[in-house]
Structure formats: structure tokens, C-alpha cells
Amino acid sequence: MSTETGLQRARALLDLGRGAEAARELYGVLAEEPEHPVAHAYLALALRAQRRYAEAAASAAEAIRLAPDHWFGHYVAAQVHLAAGQAGPALPAADAALALNPDWAPLWELRARILLSSGRPADAADAARRALALDPEDPDPAALLAMALTQLGRGAEALGAARDALRLDPESPNAHLALGRAELAHGDPARAAGAFREVLRLAPGFDDARDLLVVALKRRNPLYRALDRFRGRYRGGWRLVLLLPAVPPLIVVFVVIAVAHWAAWLAEAWATLRLHLGARTRLLLAGSEARVAVLCWSLCGLGLAALVAGIALGHEPLGTAGVAVMALVTPVQEAAHTSARAGRAVLYGWAALLALAAAVSAALPAGQTPGLLCAYAALATIWVATLARRLTRA
């Protein structure tokens, strides 16, 4: 078998998504010609398809070592690092490829993708425009431009760019995803849901589209939408805490923010339950999401029952313990919506500690003060969670 024939077979297998078979072909090529830079580069792509990122990065590095002045090895290295979630080393690799081949649109598209994943939407938009200038008929740079403009808050331009991407290729999952994101951020949640459904029709395994569809379906409810936006915008910065000794009435601001967050989390649980009970939407949710929603409403019901019983019996500690139990909705939801495992464990532990304290306060003769403190601490978990996420991320 000639080297060229082996490379052609490997390319065809990669196009079909058969990375393991492509890798076997390439190992055969490299057994005959161990210093073939293109074979090492294709092997990196085959290993990337199998999510063997460390081996893929090593193969890409070998391709660059063997042909440092050829753009393809740098291009593959950037793709591998991006797939591994390593935007830091991906960007220099993409820039090295662009320095050697600045007139190839996919390189600018890759740079835009890396910058978007790095949280640099303005630079990503510039790179996407460069790609479109070189290849105006490619829908993927147009979709990336729409996503970057969405993050920049330029809703009308984002929607226009997404529609341009769809015009170029109505069957592009990326174009529908870009339109859905733009509609979700700046347009109509119902239209966003339709776009995400189209993504899942075209690419059934697209998990991001599934998650975004859930968000869009929830945001169709105006009350949920208003509370969710409030929760995203207002947390009360730490600078306000420094002003409290000088301006004590600012405590009212913190109370309003905390209670509004509690209401938003309760609305989140209600929207999740509605989706879980719907025959057509149940499969969109992970099982844990429904369990958390049930737990939150159970806490609310249990706390309300304790509050009513405390009022009826004239037992203040029981009533305040009921308020504290209802407030536990905030720490439970904050824990469930924390991605880092360590941060999630800390916040669930915090919620369990508050639940224990609330139960103990109900049995104390003068337990209303500890019960109120538990309620305040539970509502204040929005700031505790922010600190926990920063520490665990660091």
C-alpha cells in the first residue's frame, strides 16, 4: 500500500466519523514512513475523534516538529486543543497557521471559534468577518458572527447574521443554533425553542441544543422570564457590604435581592416540574433536575405547613423554623446549579447544616431567633454560592 493511498483512506474514514479505523490506517502509513508530517497530523485528528486528546496533541506536536513551516500541523494542533477545552494553547497554534496561510477562510473561522470559547466575542466577531470576506458562501462563519454579536448584546445584528447563515444553508445545525441563541437573548423564547428543536432534528446528539431548548421552554412564561433575568442581573455587589455601616438602610436592598432570588428559584422549580410532567418534554430533562424541583417544592410545602401550625398553636419557634425550611430552596438550587463538583459538595453541605439548624430551632423554647438566623443565612446563600464557586474554580 502506498503512502498516498493510505492517507486517502484515512481521510475518507475521518469524513465518515470512523476515527478508530482511520487511526489504524495511519499507524500503517507511519510504520512504513515514520516521519511523514501529514500522516502525524491526520493521526492527531483521528485520535481527537476518539477523545484521546493527550495522544492527539502529541501527534500534532510531532507533525509541527517535522514540518514547522507548513500550516497544516499548526491548524490540527489548534483543533485538538480546542476540542480538549484548552483555548489557551489553541490560539497560538491557530495564529501560527494563519501566519503561514492567511488567505484560507477555515483558519479564520477556527480562530473565531477559539476566541468565542475564550470569552472574547469582539475579537471573535472580527475573525468571523475575515472568514466571511474570504468565503461569503460559508454559513459557519456567519453563525459564529451571530453568536459573537449575541454575546456583545447587539441583538438586531445577531439576528441578521443568524438569518444570513440560514439563507446560506437551511440545513446547518450551527446556523439554527446561532438563531436560537440570538432569539433567546434578544428576541422571542418561543422562536428560540423552535430553532433549538430544529438543531436536535438535524443533529440529535447536540447536548447544548437540548439544554438551551429547556431554557427557552421555561422562558416562555413571562413571570419566570422576569424573575430569571432579575436573578442574572442583580446579586448585590460586595461593595454594597462596605457601605452598610455608613448606610444601614441598605440592608433592605439585600433583603429584596435575596427574596427575589428565592422567588426566582421557586419559579425555576415550577417550570422544571411542568416540563417533567409533559409527555413531549419529559425526556429533555436530566433526572436530577426533576428531583431537585420536587425537593424544592416539598421544602416549600413542609415549611408552609410548619408556619401555619406554629401560628395556629401559638408556637413561635415552630413558625420561624417553617420560614427557614422554605428558605432552603435557595441553597438547594444554588448547589444544583453549581458545575464544579467541589463547589456543589460545599453548598449541599451548607444546605444540610441549615436544615439541621432549622429542625433544632423548632425544638428550643426560645428558638425563634435561631430560626430567623437560619432563614436569613439560607436566603443569603446567593452570596455564599458566589464565593464557593470562585474558590473551587480557582
Query: Considering the chain, what is the average pLDDT of its residues?
Result: 89
CA distance 187 to 170: 20
Burial group, residue 34, by CB count within 10 angstroms (0-12, 13-18, 19+): exposed
Please check the confidence at residue 300 and state whether its pLDDT lies above 70.
yes
Per-residue confidence (pLDDT) for residue 102, from 0 to 100: 95
Per-residue confidence (pLDDT) for residue 205, from 0 to 100: 77
- Bin 52: left if φ > 0, else alpha if -120 < ψ < 50, else beta: beta
Residue 18 main-chain phi, psi, to 5 deg: -105, 75
Among 2-16, 102-116, 317-331, which is the least confidently predicted range? 2-16
Among candidates 293, 385, 295, 286, which has minimal Cα distance to 340?
A: 385
Per-residue confidence (pLDDT) for residue 256, from 0 to 100: 85
Q: What cell does 362 get?
A: 423548632
Among 16-25, 40-49, 236-245, which is the least confidently predicted range? 236-245
Q: Which CATH code for domain 104-219?
A: 1.25.40.10
pTM of the model: 0.75
Q: Residues 299, 300, 306, CA angle at the centre, nearest 5°?
A: 85
CB 182 within 8 A of CB 146: yes
Confidence grade of residue 162 (pLDDT, cut at 50, 70, 90): very high
CA distance 391 to 394: 5
Residues 116-137, mean pLDDT to the nearest whole number: 95
* Structural domain 1-102, CATH architecture: Alpha Horseshoe (1.25)
Please check the confidence at residue 237 and state whether its pLDDT lies above 60.
no
CB 331 within 8 A of CB 382: no
Radius of gyration of the chain (CA): 27
- For residue range 163-201, what is the model confidence (pLDDT) as tens digits? 999 999 999 999 999 999 999 988 889 999 999 999 999
